[in-house]
Structure 1
């Protein structure tokens, strides 16, 4: 249903994204600190795979991460 557009929001773990190529994802939201910058880049790389569109990536981290 997500692939056909009937469902427009998908919450998933990294495992759900393995091998998936969905070209028209506009937003990628990461909640919590990823283990490495490579993991963050991989997660954000899910947005805007269709090069004709823009994508927005958002990282939500707890306040304690900035102390």
Structure 2
């Protein structure tokens, strides 16, 4: 079977597997939030962005 990219990601802050991504491509943003620790960020995206791209930007923000 082909591997797929997950819809729920691991949080770099609390370690829980509870980070979700809400894509709002028409607005050019994605809302990335953790259900475990409550960390939430709004990241800029473009029309070609996928949820994993928004998650990657979220992780970068957490380590800055």
Where on the TM-score scale, by shorter chain, does this alignment land: which range?
under 0.3
Report the TM-score when normalising by structure 1. Answer: 0.24
Higher helix share: 1
Report the TM-score when normalising by structure 2. Answer: 0.25
Question: Bigger relative contact order, structure 1 or 2, given CA contacts below 8 A and separation 6+?
Answer: 1
If you compute each CA radius of gyration, which structure gives the higher value, 1 or 2? Answer: 1
